[in-house]
A and B are shown apart, each in its own frame.
Chain A
């Protein structure tokens, strides 16, 4: 059998990274998006997303990749992945209109035997409701992680496939493509696969919620969560890759969507989702840790304080600010003067916040009373606390993700507050 031709519809973060990954496995890959401007930028090598190794992977596989906004080009493809962004509202509810529109728009351009695979995350029941004679439709679980998208797309642990009939063999071109990834392929009924995606995320949320709950306790009883978490990871029942880093709640939007979906489905079916509601409460509580901390430590006593904030992106190595803890914090610091630096995101991305952008981390720290590191960009790890101490007029670093080393910060005469441990106070204050 000749190698199947693959297509990705929707040049989203997911669609683009997955498409380039498919080409890296040796398949001719069409990257389609109805947005001709976006396609033109991609064609010229401009990537709209920030991901480690993605530019290199694109360059190495450029000859097998074709970018197009012409739907007729899909007629040459054997397996067509559909991967638009699924927008969510403030309550985490998905708007599935965009994927329906896209499915409708491409359907008539597909070859008769083409396999269509929904890759965007949809609610259980969505795919089966779109089955119809002549449409070879599957759902495949995506496990994209912002900042690790290339690794996730090229080296999946397993591939979960939802099928109309899981006892029937997968369509041959689809099977041939999946086999190229060299990992277990798990066919299951559509509803199981759709819920499997949510189940994965629920397990991650459970781990994160446990970590956040216990990290807060650590802050109050003198324990250090960073001493505890590695011990847990050595427990085989918990696992080396478990999500046990303390953080500022659950961010990014996708996990929140799944929480909302489980609560909604439980409401509709009468199952108990009390524990999921507790996850939501805990996430909301921890998200505002930095706001409470800065009020307690500085703002309640110094109404004229100047604040430095490092990071706007919702996590490192991404340009996304959706549900960013940093942006959420800044929205509640409007009465104060704030200086901000992010290596990728500019203040123009958040025009509703009256923040002063700066060109470097040190410039953001200049003359501030407190510096908060809200995104753990690798570059921030290189900051020398002595330089920060010289630049700042205040003495406090709030660093939820432990980007800096507490000992180095306190040795520089600065107080240091992070998640999961009581505040570290400076060894010696520089009163100059």
Chain B
């Protein structure tokens, strides 16, 4: 559950986005600028968090009055090496944060920190990751929370989609790219697994609200609506003329233990009563339009 330290929204003096060059970091930066907030975007060009001098370089850029968003990550962390690299990046961040003691720290985490069988997932579900990616985020949450003397908050998005997503993991982004190339959209088995997908813009809007309320605690960035991959594929296919083919293919491995994943978004309704998530159909349509505009 989130606790708002600002009873009413108040713009941060300056928001610093560590990892502003990435898909999510870039969207958060844009959202904060739309909201009229002074933003310092930090990308790998300014500070390479894996460089030996990363902590000192980062420290020089930060001020005690900053509200920091730490979003930089090598994601998804699929290998032990990627896990360790991510922890090293967080280690540099921790050193700088400990030295500067900023006003507020928001870490963009992941719903992968929860156990697979936590349905319905809430912010009180046990943090019990079953993947290296989830363990990476869980460890980084704890590292940053420990380093931060002031308020710390973890925003835990579920599967994010958006036109600029460079990843092509199984889901809306891959489906759209397959269709755009004139290929059939392939779903595993019957594509019956239900998942929650959140539009990247909604994650950014939530991040902005959290900064303005100086919230602490944890919040899942999830819509509360889980939809099957089959239905998502058909929605994406319908954006193309003629409609793209949706083709079931054999699963690359055994059917996942976690067939469906549902979220209870009550904490979000309480934390931000007037916040509404973009419905999946609308978000997918918006993503499609944005992708088409980028191509043309």
Footprint of B on A, CB under 8 Å?
Answer: 281, 285, 288, 291-292, 295-296, 299-301, 303, 332-336
Distance of A30 from chain B, by nearest CB (Å):
47
The residue of chain B having its C-beta at the shortest distance from the C-beta of A285 within the complex is B264
Residue pairs across A and B with Cβ atoms less than 8 A apart, 25 shown, are: A285-B120, A285-B122, A285-B264, A288-B266, A288-B269, A291-B266, A291-B269, A291-B270, A292-B224, A292-B264, A292-B266, A292-B269, A295-B269, A296-B224, A299-B276, A300-B276, A301-B276, A303-B274, A303-B276, A332-B270, A332-B273, A334-B273, A335-B273, A335-B274, A336-B273
Chain A contacts for B122, CB-based, 8 A: 285
Chain A contacts for B264, CB-based, 8 A: 285, 292
Q: How many residues belonging to B are interface residues under a CB distance threshold of 8 Å?
A: 13
Instruction: For the complex of A and B, list the 3 residue pairs with the smallest distance between their C-beta atoms, beginning with the closest.
Output: A288-B266, A335-B274, A300-B276
Known A332-B273, A333-B273; further 6 A-B contacts with Cβ < 8 A: A285-B122, A299-B273, A301-B276, A303-B274, A332-B269, A335-B273
The answer to the question of B167 belonging to the interface, with a C-beta cut-off of 8 Å to chain A, is no
Chain B contacts for A292, CB-based, 8 A: 224, 264-266, 269
Chain B contacts for A334, CB-based, 8 A: 273
A299 and B274 CA atoms in complex are apart in Å by: 8
A296 and B225 CA atoms in complex are apart in Å by: 10
Chain A contacts for B277, CB-based, 8 A: 300
Footprint of A on B, CB under 8 Å?
Answer: 120, 122, 124, 224, 264-266, 269-270, 273-274, 276-277
Chain B contacts for A301, CB-based, 8 A: 276
The residue of chain B having its C-beta at the shortest distance from the C-beta of A328 within the complex is B270
A299 and B264 CA atoms in complex are apart in Å by: 17
Distance of A91 from chain B, by nearest CB (Å):
14
Chain A contacts for B266, CB-based, 8 A: 285, 288, 291-292
Distance of A108 from chain B, by nearest CB (Å):
47
The residue of chain B having its C-beta at the shortest distance from the C-beta of A296 within the complex is B224
A336 and B269 CA atoms in complex are apart in Å by: 13
A288 and B224 CA atoms in complex are apart in Å by: 14
Distance of A290 from chain B, by nearest CB (Å):
11
Distance of B277 from chain A, by nearest CB (Å):
8
The residue of chain A having its C-beta at the shortest distance from the C-beta of B264 within the complex is A285
A291 and B264 CA atoms in complex are apart in Å by: 12
The residue of chain B having its C-beta at the shortest distance from the C-beta of A333 within the complex is B273
Chain B contacts for A300, CB-based, 8 A: 276-277
Distance of A294 from chain B, by nearest CB (Å):
9
A303 and B276 CA atoms in complex are apart in Å by: 9
The residue of chain B having its C-beta at the shortest distance from the C-beta of A291 within the complex is B269
Q: Are A281 and B124 touching (Cβ within 8 A)?
A: yes
Distance of B281 from chain A, by nearest CB (Å):
13
A296 and B276 CA atoms in complex are apart in Å by: 10
Chain B contacts for A299, CB-based, 8 A: 273, 276
Distance of B47 from chain A, by nearest CB (Å):
39
Chain A contacts for B224, CB-based, 8 A: 292, 296
Chain B contacts for A288, CB-based, 8 A: 266, 269-270
Interface centre among B120, B124, B265, B269 (most CB of A within 10 A): B269
Distance of A286 from chain B, by nearest CB (Å):
11
Chain B contacts for A303, CB-based, 8 A: 274, 276
Distance of B282 from chain A, by nearest CB (Å):
11
A301 and B274 CA atoms in complex are apart in Å by: 10
The residue of chain B having its C-beta at the shortest distance from the C-beta of A334 within the complex is B273
The residue of chain A having its C-beta at the shortest distance from the C-beta of B277 within the complex is A300
Distance of A400 from chain B, by nearest CB (Å):
15
The residue of chain B having its C-beta at the shortest distance from the C-beta of A287 within the complex is B266
Distance of A358 from chain B, by nearest CB (Å):
22
A336 and B273 CA atoms in complex are apart in Å by: 9
A295 and B270 CA atoms in complex are apart in Å by: 11
Distance of A331 from chain B, by nearest CB (Å):
8
Chain A contacts for B270, CB-based, 8 A: 288, 291, 332
A333 and B273 CA atoms in complex are apart in Å by: 7
Chain B contacts for A295, CB-based, 8 A: 269
